[in-house]
Amino acid sequence: MSSVIESIETLLVDLPTIRPHKLSMTTMACQTMVIVRMRHSDGVEGLGEGTTIGGLAYGPESPESIKRNIDAYLAPLLIGQPADNLNVLRARMARHTRGNMIAKSALETALLDARGKRLGLSVADLLGGARHAHLPVLWTLASGDTDKDIDEAFQRLDDRRHCDFKLKIGARDLDEDVRHVAAIKAALGERASVRVDVNQAWDEATAVRGIAALQDAGIELIEQALPAREHAGLVRLANRFRVPMLADEAVADARDGLDLAARGFSGAFALKIAKSGGPVAALELAHLAQTAGIGLYGGTLLEGTLGTAASLHAWSTLGELAWGTEMFGPLLLEDDIVAEPLRYHEFGVDLPAGPGLGIALDEDKLAHYSRK
């Protein structure tokens, strides 16, 4: 007899970061995760995570809205339903609710985790099978202080933890941002690649000036220089410069990917299970990109270990990630709520082993950090 979804619990979990994390739209000193515990009639529990950046600073979902909308609208669609047919449950959520992709991603992850545990298979197995057991991971330098960022980068290199770095820019004057980035690239030289993420902060005229200077400084990738909906401008930038453009907020799912590809976009797509609504839709976008000859990058919304593990299982099934991944979210947190942390070493991270996500909760830590 098929297992039935019996209950879905959501918890807001607040974890402090190791340092302030500066982006163009906010500065983070704490990350709030929505943890999903989905219990089934056969005793299996599936775990999921829904996480965004800076409350409502990044996008239309906040941690509080994610929890509320799962509790009030999405969970009732799933409770009492047979748990085994993921496609039916995804379609049920899509038919009855609009948007809320982070919330849906957390639930899809919990469904996959439970099914994997039930069958003795990893989430990667359920998604077609892992092609990589170790994935490269870059580090974001986001203190905002040039000397601190340089010291941090050299420490990560010496520890063999990271050899690619991304800089968050766009909050300051353009010339100041360019000087900051160029100084870091000059200090690192050929030891590491340096990319930038503008987080939609520039208009096209500013982007043309900024990208020209960053290209001359040796920067290897420019992420989302323009607002998300300006697809035509993003294509113009991609065609104008040698340095590749990375579309992030502009490409949430395969429909966005098809539009950019049809317009002649030639850069790379940042994959995120949260913005796509779960691992399955994120992989649909990845396969479309591969067909169109567009590079791939495994992105994050700074999830904790559960959300990071779900993404790693998805990215592990892909043949090539031309630009690696940024699955460093757990390393940005002072503490964790899992029994065993992910293993970061040799400039990357190991795919967790075991059924489902391969992750178990530390109940004491979860209780300590859960919002009362």
Residues 10-43 pLDDT 10s: 999 999 999 888 877 788 889 999 999 999 999 9
Torsion angle of alpha carbons 252, 255, 257, 259, nearest 10°?
-130
Residues 276-334 pLDDT 10s: 999 999 999 999 999 999 999 999 999 999 999 999 999 999 999 999 999 999 999 99
The pLDDT assigned to 166 comes to 97
Question: How is residue 62 written in tokens?
Answer: 């906040």
Question: How is residue 316 written in tokens?
Answer: 């592990």
pLDDT at 351 over 80: yes
| Domains of the chain listed by start with CATH number | 5-121+363-369 (3.30.390.10), 126-350 (3.20.20.120)
pLDDT confidence band for 144 (50 / 70 / 90)? confident
Average pLDDT over residues 139-143: 92
Question: How is residue 209 written in tokens?
Answer: 């000036």
Residues 174-201 pLDDT 10s: 999 999 999 999 999 999 999 999 999 9
Closest CA to 27 of 63, 55, 5, 60: 55
The residues carrying an active-site annotation are 168, 326
The owner of tokens 């496609």 is 87
CB 315 within 8 A of CB 125: no
pLDDT at 272 over 70: yes
Q: What angle do CA 48, 51, 54 make, to 5 degrees?
A: 165
Distance CA 279, CA 356 (A): 13
The pLDDT assigned to 357 comes to 99
Average pLDDT over residues 2-13: 97
The pLDDT assigned to 93 comes to 98
pTM exceeds 0.95, yes or no = yes
pLDDT at 365 over 80: yes
The pLDDT assigned to 20 comes to 84
Question: How is residue 255 written in tokens?
Answer: 């429909």
Question: How is residue 184 written in tokens?
Answer: 């870091």
Distance CA 279, CA 118 (A): 19
The pLDDT assigned to 1 comes to 61
